């Protein structure tokens, strides 16, 4: 492995990434600057407690309840705070609705901004150079990488998260989902459909 | 300033490779550790989110390009800890002084970790300059896309939008200004707008005449038309 830029302090740590993290963690724990139990709590939060299931519940409710949807689209923060979906990287939420005329898609070209309280930690592809570089210039080709083709009449609006505002896409409610419970609707909502690189799943047995 | 991290619109990247919906949140155990150590160090209160973004962007271009995602986080964290005098270079080499650190009393505990994450850190502020633009108004994003306060400093105006004509779509209120905040110059809050740019304005070969890109831009990034 080539050496790190030697002017930077990080080059003083071991080159292998897992050992590098371990070394830094050990130093910080010895000095009392971090508590290993707090690290476990943070990991537990994002590994198991917070994830796209939160966003899916919000979408299912918006599909079922017109008043909730109207309030969510008008000013998402108080609505989401009421549901307990607030916190780091989700302090300023805007929900944008997909329609037959407009498909929304979210990216952060500068880093990896993402609505953590609703979707959890972003997947690897969202943080990849290819997605960050291409999503704004050729969103339809990027959608094709996900197997999604939009009708010619649908315009694409790409939201580049350049500030602390975080965006959640409200996908189009799929055909054949009439009469389903909120729980069943939530099962149709994929993480990618809330980023805009996917569509909601069509219920089994429904004509597609 | 164009830097390696400002990659919107860049040519030459391959396909986006989606992973399975049920892929683990952290592909490797050390990814989870890197995230947790970074968040726990942030709780020491020696820097803000803009400072930490800037620290990642200031990795040398070869390090930024070569490191995987969480390697960037850890490298920037180590750099920041030394830069902010929390650790010394000797500490990083395992040759530093032993004993508890003066900041140890600020360490995040297991008991308050979840509450700290749930509390968040809102960026909206009262005061600051009055909004200069209204929804629907045409504006031009400043050219060049550089920090007007600090030579070579942090900015959140991507290169690809600099100089382009767009339209105010919505107002987000008044938010901390990263170009100032990242450099210890204060929060200097400014009105923040979502600005829509027709794809045909941004790109020589837009994919579709109706497509748009929306960016969140601070008032001082924008000029009236």
Distance, in angstroms, between A70 CA and closest chain B CA? Answer: 17
Q: What is the pLDDT of residues B160-186, one digit of tens each?
A: 999 999 999 999 999 999 999 999 999
Contacts of B201 in chain A (CB under 8 A): none
Mean pLDDT of B198-210: 97
Is this complex scored with an ipTM above 0.95?
yes
Give how far A65 is from chain B: nearest CA, Å. Answer: 25
pLDDT digit string, tens, across residues A163-183: 999 999 999 999 999 999 999
Q: Where does chain B have alpha helices with state H?
A: 29-42, 49-57, 61-66, 69-83, 89-92, 110-119, 178-181, 199-202
Instruction: Please list the residues that pair with B217 across neighbouring strands.
Output: B193
Give the model's pLDDT for residue A208.
Answer: 53
What digits encode the pLDDT tens for the residues B78-99? 999 999 999 999 999 999 988 9
Most A CBs within 10 Å: which of B14, B37, B209, as the mutation test of the A interface?
B37
Query: SS3 helix, strand, coil % of chain A, rounded to 5?
Result: 45, 10, 45
* Closest by Cβ to A31, choosing from B33, B101, B194: B101
Do the bridges between strand B222-224 and strand B212-218 make them parallel or antiparallel, or are there none, so unpaired? unpaired
Domains and CATH numbers, chain B: 29-119 (1.10.472.20), 138-224 (2.30.30.50)
- A111 annotated as a binding-site residue: yes
Average pLDDT in chain A: 96
Listed in order, strand segments (DSSP E) in chain A are 92-97, 102-107, 155-160, 165-170
* Residue B139 β-bridge partners: B166, B224
* CB atoms B107 and A38 under 8 Å: yes
CA pair distance B1, A187, nearest whole angstrom? 44
Residue A5 — pLDDT band, cuts 50, 70, 90?
confident
Q: Is A71 on the interface with B (CB under 8 A)?
A: no
Digit-coded pLDDT (tens) for A121-162: 999 999 999 999 999 999 999 999 999 999 999 999 999 999
B37, B50 in Cβ contact below 8 A? no
Q: Which two tokens stand for residue B131?
A: 């909004």
- DSSP run (H or E) holding B197: strand B190-198
Unique residue bearing structure tokens 């070969």: B205
In this structure, what DSSP letter does residue A88 have?
A: T
Chain B hits for A28, CB-CB cut-off 8 Å, are 37, 40-41, 87
Residue B106 structure tokens: 């600020």
- Closest-CA residue of chain A to B65: A129
pLDDT for B7 beyond 60: yes
Per-residue pLDDT band for B21 (boundaries 50, 70, 90) equals confident
Helix (H) or strand (E) holding B216: strand B212-218
Q: All domains of chain A, ordered by start, with CATH?
A: 19-47 (no CATH), 50-195 (3.90.330.10)
H/E stretch holding B196 reads: strand B190-198
Helices marked H in B84-214 — which ranges? 89-92, 110-119, 178-181, 199-202
User: Radius of gyration (Cα) for chain A, nearest Å?
Assistant: 20
């Amino acid at each position: 492995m080539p050496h790190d830029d030697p002017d930077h302090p990080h080059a003083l740590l071991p080159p292998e990434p897992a050992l590098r993290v371990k070394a830094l963690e050990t130093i910080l724990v010895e000095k009392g600057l971090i508590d290993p139990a707090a690290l476990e709590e943070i990991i537990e939060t994002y590994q198991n407690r917070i994830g796209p299931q939160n966003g899916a519940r919000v979408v299912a409710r918006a599909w079922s309840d017109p008043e909730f949807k109207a309030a969510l689209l008008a000013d998402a923060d108080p609505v989401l705070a009421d549901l307990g979906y607030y916190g780091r990287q989700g302090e300023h939420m805007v929900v944008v609705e997909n329609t037959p005329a407009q498909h929304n898609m979210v990216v952060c070209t500068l880093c990896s901004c993402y609505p953590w309280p609703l979707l959890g930690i972003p997947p690897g592809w969202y943080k990849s150079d290819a997605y960050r570089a291409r999503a704004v210039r050729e969103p339809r080709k990027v959608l094709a990488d996900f197997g999604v083709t939009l009708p010619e009449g649908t315009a694409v609006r790409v939201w580049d998260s350049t500030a602390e505002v975080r965006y959640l896409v409200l996908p189009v409610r799929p055909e054949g989902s009439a009469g389903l419970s909120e729980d069943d609707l939530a099962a149709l909502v994929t993480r990618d459909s809330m980023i805009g690189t996917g569509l909601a799943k069509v219920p089994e047995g429904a004509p597609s | 300033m164009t830097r390696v991290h400002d990659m919107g619109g860049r040519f030459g990247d391959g396909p986006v490779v989606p992973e399975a919906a049920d892929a683990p949140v952290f592909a490797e155990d050390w990814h989870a550790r890197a995230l947790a150590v970074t968040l726990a160090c942030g709780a020491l209160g020696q820097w803000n989110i803009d400072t930490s973004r800037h620290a990642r962007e200031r990795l040398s271009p070869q390090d930024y390009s070569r490191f995987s995602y969480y390697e960037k986080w850890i490298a920037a964290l180590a750099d920041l800890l030394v830069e902010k005098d929390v650790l010394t270079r000797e500490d990083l080499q395992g040759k530093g002084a032993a004993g508890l650190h003066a900041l140890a009393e600020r360490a995040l505990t297991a008991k308050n970790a979840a509450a700290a994450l749930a509390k968040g850190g809102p960026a909206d502020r009262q005061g600051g300059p009055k909004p200069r633009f209204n929804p629907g108004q045409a504006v031009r994003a400043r050219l060049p896309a550089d920090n007007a306060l600090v030579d070579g400093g942090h900015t959140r105006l991507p290169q690809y939008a600099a100089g382009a004509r767009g339209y105010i779509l919505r107002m987000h209120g008044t938010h901390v200004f990263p170009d100032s905040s990242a450099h210890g110059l204060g929060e200097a809050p400014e009105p923040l707008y979502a600005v829509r740019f027709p794809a045909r304005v941004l790109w020589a070969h837009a994919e579709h005449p109706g497509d748009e890109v929306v960016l969140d831009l601070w008032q001082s990034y924008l000029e009236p038309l």
